[in-house]
Homo-oligomer: A and B are copies of this chain.
Amino acid sequence: MPMSGSVEYKDASPEVRAVFDDIMATRQTDWINNFWKALARDPLTLKRTWEAIKQIMAPGALDALTKEMIYVAVSVTNQCGYCIASHTAAARKKGMSEAMFAELMAVVGMANETNRLAAGYQVEIDEQFK
């Protein structure tokens, strides 16, 4: 049932529309991507997830682009096709250049490699890191 339950704006309840409106206003876009239309099947999760993301992704001690690239790093590590596509697009929109993307990928790749070398060699945590 991939998209069968996905909710379009025109069919949405006032509760769901309020979230959709806030997404579009916050992002300054005029469309809703499939992730939110799918979550709208469960208005409670839609609202809770959007509010959490709105709070978390707002610029703070880290700027919005850095946060978006961290999102991409996690999504790539988890092999989430949808999230890679959507957050890479979002990062580009926020200013990620081709050079930044290339370096992001290089770090993500290397971290995934050394994570396993550390595990496989059964490396103990240094006192200095505790």
- Least CB distance, A128 to chain B, in whole angstroms: 7
Question: Taking chain A's interface residues, is the majority helix, strand, or loop, or is none over half, making it mixed?
Answer: helix
Check A79 for interface membership: any CB of B closer than 8 A. Answer: yes
A12 within 8 A of B: no
Q: How far is the CA of A5 from the CA of B97 in the complex (A)?
A: 13
A120 at the interface (CB under 8 A from B): yes
What residues of B have a CB within 8 angstroms of the CB of A27 in the complex? Answer: none
Contact residues of A between 11 and 39, Cβ < 8 Å to B? 31, 33-35, 38-39
Residues of A whose CB lies within 8 Å of any CB of B are 1-3, 5, 31, 33-35, 38-39, 41-42, 44-45, 48-49, 52-53, 55-57, 60-62, 66-67, 69-89, 92, 97-100, 102-126, 128-130
